[in-house]
Amino acid sequence: MIDSLLLQFMLIGSLGVGSQWIAWRFRLPAIVVMSIVGLLVGPVFGLMNPEQDFGELFKPIISLAVAVILFEGSLNLDMKEVRGLGRPVFRIVTFGAFISWILGALAAHYVAGLSWAVAFVIGGLFIVTGPTVILPLLRQAKLKPRPAKILKWEGIIVDPIGALLAVFAFEIIEFIMGTNVNPSELLLFFLASLFAVILGWACGKGVGWMFETGYVPEFLKSPVVFTVVIACFTIADEITHETGLLSVTAMGMTLANMHISSIADMRHFKENISLLLISTIFVMLTASLTQETLVEIFNVQIIGFVLLMLFIVRPLSIFLSTMGTDLSKSEKLLVGWIAPRGIVALTVASYFASILLESGFEDASILISLTFALVFTTVVAHGFTIGWLSKKLGLSMEGPPGVLISGGSQFATGMAKTLEDLKVPVLIADSSWERLSRTRAAGIKSYHGEILSEQTEYYLDMTPYEYLIAATELDSYNALVCTTFVPEFGRNNLYQLSLSDREGDNLENLVHTIGGRVLFKEGASWEELNIMVESGYVFRKTNITEQYKYENYLNNIDSEAVILFIKKPSGKIEFFSPEVENRAENGDVVVALTPPSKEFEKIQEKLEEQRKENGNKKQKK
């Protein structure tokens, strides 16, 4: 057992972030890796037990972390995003949640053997999915926009609703059992929930107003939001337990729909904080489980309950609640299967286990085991099947990494056509119909609109594209595009054309601090590349083989040619850049923009070979 709390903090952070990296590197569900790591350092090897070691600080740390995670998720709930999905989302988070509550309670009573009182409390809690588990799965699976948005909205909205349902069920139980016969307690509960929503809305509006009117300097905006989120959660939660989650969700949604630029700018910072919290909190929770809890998970009643929740309760609640909506059968199947439970279920279950036991419900002793069994099973089952199932149902955007090109031109169209020939998804975005005319004529997929506009994220699905090339004639605009999309694509996957050698544009120092990697070779600017294409230069694809190695290719290529990129057999694209040394290997395809004379020579050589072959055939006859 590690005695030092400081060492435990370090180890928890390292294990959490390390789990995320392993999941990314080997394309595994991050939640599964974190759960396994937590179990190994906790109940399996006994290196730590954060719940015991942190003492009274454990629950406040978990609660505040959940509040920040839920707030960050609700910052993405812009009403514009659910255009055309309003009815299915509303039905799922209302009727679907209610059906799931009732069916879950029935399963808990008849299969898990819980009393009606405990069954209705836990049934309300188990409707939650939540951003801690849904958002990592959505990043992994690359779903099409419709099912992805439905799962995201359900997870974030139902998270506080599930906790409140559990509290409401407990209040009803106390009332029925006679331990609390005052009906005003129920009224106070509903008033507290309403107060939490109003508080969240007021905090969101207040923060938004201060940001818009300049009452908060730029360097204090993130700390102010962080502090207000904690205050909003704490005030509501102190009045009635678990209403704090409702409050921060209302605050996040309010800010998201005010469309304040400052909030959009800090969203990526909040995402990073949320990712760190998810990584550490999941390790802390699983490491705090006991060996007795793990053994109890294999109880036949618990296994039966989990299977029923997976294969009956969830699918049935989704199919019944979405009847009459425009969701396809495939979408209903996917949404009906994917419902992983996460941090909120674990934390709230531990709270109710203690207060139900204090109230005399002895069967509540298995709630921790029951909850972890459901959480771990759903996380593993849904984490490993979401990608496979979405592909089978035709709801996945999974495929070779695509290329998004900003700026329509002859060069961009030619390169896009070459990428398309190599089965690489490609799209050209431009705000000018005129510049897109040749793109559309060539049959290349295009998007008409300003790529830097906030509307773009609602109308353009960027999921299939892993690389972005800023290829307009304006160097400063290219740098701005690359800088804007760093959080979405990563700096290593952002490229811009070489700087133009024009007077007054002194951008040489600028590109080293902002923007993307410079493409191709020095001097291959927008003007030069388009002049080449207009002069008859051609996009030539060359296969690298054992017989024709990359060294042979470099020796034979024209000195005026511009080598563009290498396509790997895996589908990966490696663009040439002065900043990176590229090397093609056996099986790769190298694409270059070559002079027409070189292409003419190649054609002549092929014609000459054909003449010789025909002559040989005649002689044999």
> Is a pLDDT exceeding 70 seen at residue 123?
yes
Task: Average the pLDDT over each of 9-18, 501-510, 588-597 and give the range with the smallest value.
Answer: 501-510
The pair of structure tokens assigned to 347 is 């934390």
Residues 81 and 199 in one domain: yes
The answer to whether position 51 is within a domain reads no
Higher pLDDT, 618 or 86: 86
For residue 326, being part of any structural domain is answered with yes
Query: Do the domain assignments include residue 103?
Result: yes
254 pLDDT above the threshold of 60: yes
Looking at residue 243, its pLDDT comes to 82
Tell me which amino acid residue 376 is. Answer: F
Same domain, 387 and 416: no
Task: Note the pLDDT tens digit of each residue in 191-213.
Answer: 888 899 899 999 999 999 998 88
Secondary structure (3-state) at 113: coil
Reference 532, options 599, 467, 435, 603; nearest CA is: 599
Of 98, 97, 119, 121, the residue nearest 108 (C-alpha): 119
Exposure string of 123-146, with b = 16+ CB inside 10 Å and e = fewer, is bbbbbbbbbbbbbbbbebbbbbeb
Please answer whether residues 204 and 231 qualify as being in contact, where contact means their C-beta atoms are separated by less than 8 angstroms: no
Most confident of the ranges 232-236, 242-246, 396-400: 232-236
Beta bridge mates, 428: 405, 446
Contact 322, 361 (CB under 8 A): no
Backbone φ and ψ for 580, nearest 5 degrees, come out as -130, 140
Asked if 520 and 492 sit in the same domain, the reply is yes
Query: Which among 338, 268, 333, 370 has a CA at the least distance from the CA of 29?
Result: 338
Report which of residues 503 and 383 the model is more confident about.
383
Q: Between these two residues, 550 and 598, which has the higher pLDDT value?
A: 550
Per the model's pLDDT, the better-predicted residue between 243 and 505 turns out to be 243
Q: Is residue 146 part of a domain?
A: yes
At 421-433, the pLDDT tens digits run 888 888 988 888 8
pTM of the model: 0.70
Please tell me the distance from the alpha carbon of residue 616 to that of residue 277, in angstroms, as a whole number: 74
Q: Is residue 34 part of a domain?
A: no
Residue 603 scores a pLDDT above 70: no
Tally of structural domains, the chain: 2
Q: Which of 353, 370, 392 is the last residue of a domain?
A: 392
* Angle (CA) 97 100 106, round 5°: 145
Q: pLDDT tens, 226-235?
A: 899 999 999 9
Q: Are strands 402-406 and 465-470 parallel, antiparallel or unpaired?
A: parallel
Tell whether 262 is covered by a domain: no
CA–CA distance, 433 with 441 (Å, rounded to integer):
12
- Phi-psi region for residue 517, left (φ > 0), alpha (ψ -120 to 50) or beta? beta
- Asked if 406 and 445 sit in the same domain, the reply is yes
pLDDT at 84 over 90: no
pLDDT band for position 320 (50/70/90)? very high
DSSP 579: T
Q: Write down the mean pLDDT value for the chain.
A: 82
Of 392, 413, 439, the residue at which a domain comes to its end is: 392
Residues 361 and 451 in one domain: no
| Residue for token pair 């995201």 | 152
Sequence-separated (6 or more) residues with CB below 8 Å from residue 229: 67, 68, 71, 203, 248, 251
Q: Is 564 inside any structural domain?
A: yes
In this structure, the answer to whether residues 484 and 582 fall within a common structural domain is yes
Work out the number of other CB atoms within 10 angstroms of the CB of residue 115.
16
Q: What is the pLDDT of residue 169?
A: 80
Asked if 511 and 567 sit in the same domain, the reply is: yes
Structure tokens at 110: 């008849």
**What is the CATH classification number for the domain harbouring 436?**
3.40.50.720
CB 242 within 8 A of CB 166: yes
Q: Are residues 600 and 533 in the same domain?
A: yes
Greater pLDDT, 314 or 75: 314
Instruction: Judge residue 68's burial from the number of C-beta atoms within 10 Å of its C-beta, 0-12 exposed, 13-18 middle, 19 or more buried.
Output: buried
Asked whether residue 434 falls in the same domain as residue 377, the answer is no
Q: Which domain holds residue 535?
A: 402-611
Pairwise CA distance, residues 53 & 41, whole Å: 14
Count other C-beta atoms under 10 Å from residue 408's C-beta.
27
286 and 424 part of one domain: no
CA dist list (Å): 249 to 88, 114, 181: 20, 31, 32
pLDDT tens by residue, 133-176: 787 777 677 788 788 888 888 887 887 777 777 777 877 777 66
Give yes or no for residue 503 having a pLDDT over 50.
no
> Tell me, what's the pLDDT at 577?
83
Looking at the fold, whether 377 and 420 belong to one and the same domain comes out as no
The CATH number for 112's domain is: 1.20.1530
* 423 belongs to a structural domain: yes
Determine what percent of the chain is predicted with pLDDT higher than 90.
Answer: 11
**Helix H or strand E encompassing 516:** none
Q: Are residues 144 and 275 in the same domain?
A: yes
Query: What are the two backbone dihedrals, phi and then psi, of residue 404, each rounded to the nearest 5 degrees?
Result: -105, 125
Tell me the mean pLDDT in the region 63-77. 79
Domain boundary among 370, 392, 414: 392
